[in-house]
Amino acid sequence: MKEERSLSHMENTNPNLILDACSKLISSFKHDEFIVAFSGGEDSSVLLHAMVELKKVKKFNLRTIHINHNIQDNSAEVSEHCLRVSKNYSIKHSSYNVEIDNSSNIEEKCRIQRYNALRKHSNEGEIILTAHHLDDQIETFFLRMLRGSGIRGLSSMDMCTTLHERIVARPFLRVPKHELQNYSKNNMISYIDDQSNNDTRLDRNYIRHNIIPELKKKWVSLDKIISNNLDILSIQSDVLESYIESISTAYTSGDETVLEINKIIHKDYGVKVLLLHHWIYKITSTNLNLRHINEILKIMNTNNDSNPLFVFDNVKITKNGTKLIIQKP
């Protein structure tokens, strides 16, 4: 690792989007315990460097967690790199292995296992920081549009979300990728490229390398256009979800994992769709598309003794008499 520039020097020469984004976000929390989800790639390396710089002038505790999916040939090398970098910063580091069934939908399975591991190995009151940036946000918008995720999905990622009693914060969500690259270059940050990032067989990479560049040839301000629309969608989603949340408690039996079928079966189709979508997302953080919701509606209308089952990723729903029961991940 090269010698780090001082925070004051960087601020005097150039108003830095990276440091400012991190500073604003951590200042918005009463908590002073932060975890950097550290993959060893350029984005999370920039996040860790910025947090270490801020730690020189702000008081907070910081540690790193690396989740090893064991699906890359250099997984062991990346894990060792993350440990070495954290030690160089005098930051406490932990690494955990997760098992991935890579037969299909690898990206989504990795995401689910990664967040489950971060939740499991973090403590109450700690804020989990990820390095998702504006380019990731735009890619997520296209991915979810293609998968039919509804208004919540189209609004993409939030700056802060609650994931099973853990707060996940994304300070770079309004910062374009090239700003992270500039910061990385200016500070000579050491990182390891993810070997899978250029594999266009993966949906996200195909969108990143083939779709978005073509769109930007026609619409130069594509990032700004989509970002503005995401802000509007996020506001609309919040209002709708607030309303659905206000009425959803009337359809559960005190246990949020149990939905009373008799209380919603005669509601309008649209209301049932929104209630189910909200209920499932609240418990599993998974956005189901309309096809999946319709499958669950069919289950609601089956005979009591059939005890049907719906399974998709980390969503598992069973029917017991007049109750729908969802298992927490």
All residues at 6 or more sequence positions from 53 whose CB lies less than 8 Å from its CB, including other chains: 4, 7, 10, 19
Burial, 15: exposed, middle or buried (Cβ in 10 Å; 0-12, 13-18, 19+)? exposed
Which domains are assigned to the chain?
A: 7-218 (3.40.50.620), 252-326 (3.30.465)
Positive or negative, the CA dihedral 254, 319, 163, 243 is negative
pTM for this prediction: 0.79
| Beta bridge pairs of residue 315 | 312
Q: Is beta strand 127-129 parallel, antiparallel or unpaired with respect to 166-169?
A: parallel
CA distance 37 to 45: 10
How does pLDDT run along the chain (329 residues), one tens digit per residue? 333 333 333 333 344 899 999 999 989 998 899 999 999 999 999 999 999 999 999 999 999 999 998 888 889 999 999 999 999 999 999 999 988 776 667 777 788 889 889 999 999 999 999 999 999 999 999 988 888 777 877 887 889 988 778 899 999 999 999 999 999 999 999 999 987 888 898 889 999 999 999 999 999 999 999 989 988 988 998 898 888 888 887 887 678 889 988 888 889 999 999 999 989 988 887 888 899 999 999 888 877 555 668 888 778 898 888 888 898 76
Q: Which residue has the tokens 């939908």?
A: 105
